[in-house]
Amino acid sequence: ENVGNVKRQLAKLFEVSLPATVPSETDIVPLVDACIVKSGVRFGDYQCNNAMGIWSKIRGEETEFRGPAAVGQAIMNNLPPSDMVESCSVAGPGFVNVVLSRNWIAQSLIKMLIDGIDTWAPRLPIKRAVVDFSSPNIAKEMHVGHLRSTIIGDTFARMLEFSHVEVLRRNHVGDWGTQFGMLIEFLFEKFPNPEDVKEAAIGDLQTFYKASKVRFDSDPEFKHRAQQAVVRLQGGEDKYHKAWKQICEISRTEFHRVYERLGVKLEEKGESFYNPYIPGVLEELNKKGMIEDNEGARVIFVPGIKIPLIVVKSDGGYNYASTDLAALRYRINEEKAEWIIYLTDVGQQQHFDMLFKAAKRAGWLPADDGSYPKATHVGFGLVLGEDGKRFRTRSSEVVRLADLLDEAKNRSKTALLERDTAKEWPEEEVEKTSQAVGYGAVKYADLKNNKLTNYTFNFDQMLNDKGNTAVYLLYAHARICSIIRKSGKDIEEVKRNAKMALDHEDERALGLHLVQFSEVVEEACINLLPNVLCEYLYNLSEIFTKKFYSNCQVVGSAEESSRLLLCEATATVMRKCFHLLGIEPVYKI
């Protein structure tokens, strides 16, 4: 049970009140929402919206109620007493507004500070999930599309892990397929002695890939050898297998450098891993009568889509789809994952749509009724340059991730060194902070968008220290830490002894926003919307700075201890948000 979730705690009260109000209607699920302030008018912090629905069901029958407002009134009167609630009122057609008790909010915050914010973690109805993310292709450069997948996927994994779900972080790298024939033959040509193959010798794998492609397209004899090489590789011939491994290893080293910098953990199970499972899976689907011949290929048709999913190409080879079928089955049956989440650009939407429909036809996944296991594809938009076109460098090359991260870091370092305070910092600290800020900015700029939209990559915007950016948020957090430091108080001591009062309305507003953390994470996680968490974090920072800190003196005031606790609670929640977004916090500016 999640004690941090205010909405659920309130819903429990309504679970008592609703059946008491209308015993004739069983299974009414309480609809409790956090109130959004509209035009400055606000009657409560939460609202129960069941009255109208109930009224529309019972209005024809003989009933004591005269309308939805009366139903709302009765729901309110039947609420069991609770120390969560300060007052209730009924508005309009039966909306029951609840004002939370200040004391209860303060108690919840103190409890969180003492027991730790993990006690506010959401509880999800599943034990294990697969997040399939990043998944670049061997020998091809990781590009900004893979960056989006890496950043968004990592956040999903982090939110699920926080919610006590075991997450298998899967890097479904493209390490199998016909391009390897070409790469291997090219490798043999360039390095007749396998000992000479080293990362340094090959240099840039992307350039190597391009050169081999030129060779492949221009020389029929080479092309023929490359095609043979695929067969020999897939037949398991030692020399070919070794060369394949060498190429994969070089790519892997390169990918890992990026993951390391981003602080992202991934476990590789590439396409090649599932290859041995494909024949069995296709056999099973064939027995189920799902596979047909179509223009020389073997295909599966799924409801609602005209084109079929090709599972065996006309040359007899397997492909991306057959691999994904085997992987999906493996994840469900062997790994017992209850939720399988894939992150790629929206261009692959149809592929996953067909894949999941095929899995439903095969009975691996239940119909779309919200039950588990469940598979979800999260498609994201393109990363655009400032010219509104696909993000590329001047020479219209794909932007290399390593360069992009370098630039983000260097720019934030320059900005940092312009501040007087940072001038005296040790080099190590400057490095650490500029990395946290630079990489954090790249991540946040991506995560704050609705994932489906294209987004424009703009260093100046993402590194601005005003506005909705990681820089602004990280600095806001550092400032809170410095308020606490300046008080000279030992915050652990304050936690143990002080009481918190939320008498000022801005203290209360901040406290209320803080106790809503848990329900926001739950929503972001269940609906796979990191932008919801970003928005919460940004609002938290705004309420702290523009309301609380502008109007309530902390250090030196009569309420100092209580307000320090509020600062500490804010910093704690902000840090957890940063953590979930994969951003390293900064404590000092």
DSSP state of 544: I
Separation of alpha carbons 448 and 538, rounded Å: 10
According to CB under 6 A, which residues from 166 to 195 bind ligand ARG?
172, 174
Query: Cβ atoms within 10 A of the Cβ of 488, count?
Result: 7
Assess contact for 262 and 169: CB atoms under 8 A. Answer: no
Q: How far is the CB of 373 from ligand ARG (least distance, A)?
A: 15
Please give the Cα distance from 577 to 138 (Å, whole number): 33
Closer residue to ligand ARG (CB): 174 or 308:
174
- 135 touching ligand ARG, by CB under 6 A: yes
Q: Which stretch binds ligand ARG (CB under 6 A): 86-94, 132-140, 286-294, 493-501?
A: 132-140
Smaller CB separation from ligand ARG, 351 or 392: 351
The Cα–Cα gap between 285 and 283 comes to: 5
The mark string for 314-333 relative to ligand ARG (x by CB under 6 A, - otherwise) is ----------x--x------
> Two tokens at 64?
């004591």
Range in contact with ligand ARG (rule: CB under 6 A) among 134-142, 258-266, 396-404, 464-472: 134-142
Nearest approach in angstroms of CB 244 to ligand ARG is 17
Q: Which of 120, 342, 364, 475 binds ligand ARG (CB under 6 A)?
A: 342
DSSP helix, strand, coil percent of the chain (3-state; round to 5):
55, 10, 35
- How near is the Cβ of 355 to ligand ARG at its closest, in Å? 8
Q: Which is closer to ligand ARG, CB of 324 or CB of 506? A: 324
Q: Which is nearer to ligand ARG, 8 or 400 (CB)?
A: 400
Q: Is 254 in the site for ligand ARG (CB under 6 A)?
A: no
132 binds ligand ARG (CB under 6 A): yes
| CB burial string 377-408: b at 16+ within 10 A, e below | bbbbbbbbbeeeebbbeeeeebbbbeebbeeb
User: Looking at 53-61, 135-143, 236-244, 249-257, which segment touches ligand ARG (CB under 6 A)?
Assistant: 135-143
Taking the complex as a whole, the smallest distance from the CB of residue 125 to ligand ARG amounts, in Å, to 24
Give min distance, CB of 170 to ligand ARG, in A. Answer: 8
**Least Å distance between CB 117 and ligand ARG?**
33
- 401-417 and 238-262 helices, crossing angle to 10°: 20
The single-letter code of the amino acid at 494 is V
User: Judged by CB under 6 A, does residue 440 bind ligand ARG?
Assistant: no
Q: Are 409 and 183 in contact (CB under 8 A)?
A: no
Least distance from ligand ARG to the Cβ atom of residue 444, Å: 24
DSSP 8-state symbol, 29: P
**Do residues 566 and 548 touch, judged by C-beta distance below 8 A?**
yes
Handedness of CA 88, 549, 529, 335 (dihedral sign): negative
Q: Which stretch binds ligand ARG (CB under 6 A): 129-137, 379-387, 473-481, 535-543?
A: 129-137
Q: Which is nearer to ligand ARG, 47 or 322 (CB)?
A: 322
For 129-158, the DSSP string reads EEEE----BTTS---HHHHHHHHHHHHHHH
Long-range contacts of 413-422 (CB under 8 A, 24+ apart): 413/438, 415/463, 415/465, 415/471, 419/589, 421/588, 421/589, 422/589
Q: Which of residues 349-408 bind ligand ARG (CB under 6 A)?
A: none
> What's the closest the beta carbon of residue 174 comes to ligand ARG, in angstroms?
4
Residues 306, 359 contacting (CB under 8 angstroms): no
**Is residue 141 close enough to count as binding ligand ARG by CB under 6 A?**
no
Q: Which residue is nearest to ligand ARG (CB)?
A: 135
According to CB under 6 A, which one of 97, 246, 344, 468 is a site residue for ligand ARG?
344
Number of residues in contact with ligand ARG under rule CB under 6 A: 10
Residue 20 tokens, joined: 């008491």
Span from 131-139, 200-208, 226-234, 448-456 in contact with ligand ARG (CB under 6 A): 131-139
Supply the minimum distance, in Å, between the C-beta of residue 327 and ligand ARG: 6
Tokens of 360: 């439903």
Is beta strand 95-100 parallel, antiparallel or unpaired with respect to 46-48? antiparallel
Query: Least distance (Å) from ligand ARG to the CB of residue 343?
Result: 7
Interface residue list for ligand ARG (CB under 6 A): 132, 135-137, 172, 174, 324, 327, 342, 344
